[in-house]
Each structure stands twice: as C-alpha cells, then as structure tokens.
C-alpha cells in the first residue's frame, strides 16, 4: 500500500472548523499515514497534536507546518512551511507580528462594514475565532464571513466574499502582508521547507503565474503544491511543467477546513509521476 499523505490542513487555531483532536481522529479514520497541520500564521496546534498522537496505538506522522499570508503585486499569496521548528523563538515572534496584522486588518474591514451600515461584526468575528478554552485563534476573513452569515447579512459564505470581503469589494482591505521573499526566509530560518500553496487558485493569468513561480524559486522556495483534486487536468499539467522548469519539488494537500461535500482529508491527492515529492528525504519513507 502506498503511503497516504496530506500536507495541508487547518484547525480552530485558524479558520478550521475542527479542534486538533477532531482533526486527528478524522485523519485516522481516513487512514492517513502523514498529516501536516498548516494553520494560517500559527503553529499553536502542533504541540497538542503531537501530544495527542503519542497516546494513539495507530501510527501517524504529524508534520509541523504553517501557512503564511504574503503579498505579491497586490495579491494574497500563501506560502506553506513544512518541517519547521515550531518552538523557534524568532519564528514565534514573527508569527506574533502576523497575528497583529490580522487583528489590525479585521478592525479595518469591520470599520468598512460599519460604513456600509453593518454594525458590530468585529466582536462576533473575534468570538468565532476563539477556542472553547478561551485561547485566541488567528482571526481570518472566514470568521468575518461566518459572522455575516450568522446575522443574515448574506445568504452564504461565498456571498460574503463576493459582496464584501473579496478583492475590490465593499469591505476589502488591501493586504499589507509580508513579501514572498520574507515568507520564504522566515520558513527557512525556522529550519523548514517553503512551498507555494495552491498556485492554481490565485486569480492570475498564465503569464503572471509563470512570473510568480519563477520569483518564488529565485527567492529560494523549494516546492509547489500540486494537488490534482481541486485542479483541472490542463492546469495541473501546466503547473507540473513550471515545477520541472524551476526545479521545484511537489507537495500535496487537501486544504481541509472541516467536513464538507467538496473536500476530504487525503482525497484525490496525487503528484505527477515525474515530479520529486517534497517528502522524498523525510524520515517517513
């Protein structure tokens, strides 16, 4: 049996809907051998995840990961970090900076919502981002979207982005995330490998995508996320060619945020045959 690997998942420490334990239980049910937890700008789930797994009979490797929010020519670009030292004090201080940026941005988004006549979303979104034990998870636009849905301002999550939170919409705030160069260096500084997340999901033309991948590689990025699950075959092949051209390894992940019809841990994840897996030299093989 080939190993079942999923290198992209979220918990309640960012915008995932499941607690750490719930996520890991589901990963066991889905028969995963390796799971990376990659919360937005947070590694808070890693320690409890490792602790929970050590108490299990069924083996499963937890890969310490992160998904950093970066900005590139006005686009939100996500960079995944794997095998990071999640206790590195410098890295944790840097994540604290990102956290502050997230709170500032949430305040600015909610101020724009107030101008559009929707009052009091910030405390609701902050409450949704809180864990049951009172710890604060990273506040994301997903929490603001959920608050808008709960209040009946929009019919669903998607509409919250289409009407208010998406690029160019009423309550959009231009991202002031770190550069992709900085994102890569933060991850490598914490001993990790940097991978460009879901390259097929940015709203970029082929020409700009080419440019993004080429800059990502030039700045020392090591991999491209090439999960076939969410991609049209043609785009998947295009991205695989770009990976080859820039000598990038391949990574796979479901970007699991919680149970849904469209997304499942470990489902439909396959690398093109001629791409070197990011995990080829990890101590899991």
Residues that bind ligand AMP (CB under 6 A): 15, 40, 69, 76, 140-142, 161, 166, 257
Which CB sits closer to ligand AMP, 161 or 279?
161
Residue 82 touches which member of Mn ion, ligand AMP, none, C-beta under 5-8 Å by kind:
none
Which CB sits closer to Mn ion, 189 or 258?
258
Q: How far is the CB of 18 from ligand AMP (least distance, A)?
A: 14
Q: Which residue is nearest to ligand AMP, using beta carbons?
A: 140
Which CB sits closer to ligand AMP, 54 or 260?
260
Q: Which of 5, 32, 46, 78 binds Mn ion (CB under 5 A)?
A: 78
Q: Which two tokens stand for residue 180?
A: 């992709």
- Which 3 state secondary structure label does DSSP give 216? helix
Of 232, 178, 176, 170, which is closest to residue 201 (Cα–Cα)?
232
Contacts of 172 (CB under 8 A, 6+ apart): 109, 112, 164, 165, 166
Residue 209 touches which member of ligand AMP, Mn ion, none, C-beta under 5-8 Å by kind:
none
Residue 141 touches which member of ligand AMP, Mn ion, none, C-beta under 5-8 Å by kind:
ligand AMP
Site size for Mn ion (CB under 5 A): 5
Sign of torsion over alpha carbons 132, 135, 141, 142:
negative
Q: Which two tokens stand for residue 18?
A: 């499941």
Which CB sits closer to ligand AMP, 109 or 275?
109
Q: How far is the CB of 87 from ligand AMP (least distance, A)?
A: 24
Under rule CB under 5 A, residue 255 binds Mn ion: yes
Q: Which stretch binds Mn ion (CB under 5 A): 15-23, 47-55, 90-98, 149-157?
A: 15-23
Q: How far is the CB of 263 from ligand AMP (least distance, A)?
A: 10
Which CB sits closer to ligand AMP, 159 or 237?
159
Residue 108 touches which member of Mn ion, ligand AMP, none, C-beta under 5-8 Å by kind:
none
Under rule CB under 5 A, residue 6 binds Mn ion: no
Q: Are 106 and 144 in contact (CB under 8 A)?
A: yes
Phi and psi torsions of 91, nearest 5°: -65, -45
Q: How far is the CB of 52 from ligand AMP (least distance, A)?
A: 23
CA distances for 227 relative to 25, 68, 241, 268, angstroms:
23, 19, 14, 8
Q: Are 254 and 263 in contact (CB under 8 A)?
A: yes
Burial class of residue 28 in the structure, from the number of CB atoms within 10 Å of its CB (0-12 exposed, 13-18 middle, 19+ buried): middle
Q: Which two tokens stand for residue 130?
A: 């809180």
Q: How far is the CB of 162 from ligand AMP (least distance, A)?
A: 7
Which CB sits closer to ligand AMP, 53 or 98?
98
Q: Distance (Å, rounded) from C-alpha 9 to C-alpha 109?
A: 25
Q: Which two tokens stand for residue 242?
A: 């770009």
Q: Give Rg (Cα) of the chain.
A: 18
Of 115, 90, 82, 51, which is closest to residue 280 (Cα–Cα)?
82
- Residues near Mn ion (CB under 5 A) are 15, 67, 78, 197, 255
């Amino acid at each position: 049996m080939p190993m079942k690997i999923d290198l992209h998942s979220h918990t309640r420490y960012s915008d995932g809907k499941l607690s750490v334990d719930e996520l890991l239980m589901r990963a066991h049910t889905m028969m995963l051998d390796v799971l990376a937890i990659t919360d937005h700008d947070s590694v808070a789930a890693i320690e409890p995840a490792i602790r929970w797994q050590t108490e299990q009979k069924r083996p499963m490797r937890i890969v310490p990961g992160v998904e950093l929010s970066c900005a590139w020519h006005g686009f939100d670009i996500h960079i995944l970090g794997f095998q990071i030292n999640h206790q590195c004090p410098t890295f944790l201080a840097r994540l604290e900076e990102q956290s502050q940026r997230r709170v500032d941005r949430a305040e600015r988004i909610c101020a724009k919502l107030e101008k559009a006549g929707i009052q009091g979303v910030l405390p609701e979104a902050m409450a949704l981002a809180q864990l049951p034990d009172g710890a604060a998870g990273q506040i994301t636009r997903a929490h603001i979207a959920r608050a808008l849905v709960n209040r009946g301002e929009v019919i669903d999550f998607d509409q919250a982005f289409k009407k208010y939170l998406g690029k160019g919409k009423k309550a959009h705030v231009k991202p002031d995330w770190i550069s992709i160069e900085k994102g890569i260096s933060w991850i490598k500084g914490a001993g990790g490998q940097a991978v460009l997340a879901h390259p097929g999901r940015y709203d970029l033309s082929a020409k700009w995508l080419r440019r993004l991948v080429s800059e990502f590689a030039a700045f020392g990025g090591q991999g491209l996320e090439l999960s076939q699950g969410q991609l049209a075959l043609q785009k998947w092949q295009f991205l695989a060619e770009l990976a080859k051209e820039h000598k990038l390894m391949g990574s796979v992940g479901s970007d699991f945020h919680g149970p849904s019809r469209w997304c499942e841990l470990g489902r439909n994840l396959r690398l093109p045959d001629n791409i070197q897996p990011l995990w080829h030299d990890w101590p899991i093989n």
